[in-house]
Structure 1
């Protein structure tokens, strides 16, 4: 169990990561400089650098913490829920949050996309695996008969379905819940049947 000093350091790291993401969402990557992030967190840039070498590290830390929360939800979900149902439930929860909540689905999507733009291709690939590995592992424990490859496909498709709803739901649509259900129903029941229905 972490001692008080370690907990304080972890809380400070989280505070800096949240400040970084709040700025990223509010003013974009250009405005979310280390200096601006430190100012928003009420510390010097030197103090910020005691915790993160680069601002991208703060964005990555933020996503790691969100994935850790998803891992907890996977582990605590009722036994009868399939991995896809658990993912649907997680997305429904974060999609229902207000856009001014830094942990809202739209904001998580912005952070993920910005990390993709700010990092090199090589770094992007290793960071994505590093961030998502705990979630893959949690789903694997929940569905031990599934191969590692299938677990990755299920998780990746669930994430893609959630992102697709955020990007493509019609303008003025009330909320994403119906679209999330439609996207996850499509994943759950397969696309072949839907393609057949669409061409009949």
Structure 2
């Protein structure tokens, strides 16, 4: 295994350990020592990769967004962005625990990060927005579609509802038939 690959594996292991500890033991249990122990390295090694424990969580979010962006970019060219997001979100929420965990990590970071780092989190989605843009979908449209899709996935996971209904509302502009029943009209 190459040196860079080994470093990347260590970085990922540390980030995953931090997330697991946050979810299992809360902020208090997510110490640098506990993260390092869970990943099988020393606390000094942790600091070789991340200055703070929150940086490991930011890294994890960046990896997830990068992987999701790559999948959007690989979508068939004839597929509409709403259909791409529907397909990918359906795959994504096959593991509802993962979705809930991701939301918990984001909530934690929004509470503890500095304003500069919160800005970093707010801009994580930029490459994904660019990947969704097309001749028929503006930047604003891509942004609205992405956040609407994330909301639909969150609602589906939290309320144990079908993701298809949320995406039907997105496709139909929140009006018309949805799953055989009349959908809501936003006034």
1:189 aligns with 172
Equivalent-residue separation in structure 2 for 1:32 and 1:182 (angstroms): 37
Pairing 1:94–2:85 present: no
Aligned counterpart for 1:107 among listed residues 90, 94, 101:
101
Count of aligned positions: 181
Aligned pairs for 1:1-200 within 5 A = 4-97=2-95, 99=97, 104-129=98-123, 131-140=124-133, 143-167=134-158, 169=159, 173=160, 176=161, 178=162, 180-193=163-176, 194-196=183-185
**Is the 1:59–1:111 Cα contact (8 Å) retained in structure 2?**
yes
Q: How far has the Cα of 1:182 moved from its partner?
A: 1.2
* Structure 2 residues not aligned, in runs of 5+: 177-182
After TM superposition, the structure 1 stretch with the greater mean CA deviation from structure 2, 153-162 or 50-59, is 153-162
Give the superposed CA RMSD: 2.2
Cα deviation 1:146-178 (Å, max 9, x = unaligned): 2222211111221122223233x1xxx4xx5x2
**Is the 2:96–2:157 Cα contact (8 Å) retained in structure 1?**
no
**Is the 2:33–2:43 Cα contact (8 Å) retained in structure 1?**
yes
Equivalent-residue separation in structure 1 for 2:94 and 2:138 (angstroms): 32
* Structure 1 residues not aligned, in runs of 5+: none
**Is the 1:91–1:105 Cα contact (8 Å) retained in structure 2?**
no
**Is the 1:20–1:59 Cα contact (8 Å) retained in structure 2?**
yes
TM-score by length of 1: 0.81
Of Structure 1 and Structure 2, the greater helix share is in 1
TM-score by length of 2: 0.86
Please give the secondary structure, in 1, of the residue aligned with 2:125: helix
Q: How far has the Cα of 1:65 moved from its partner?
A: 0.8
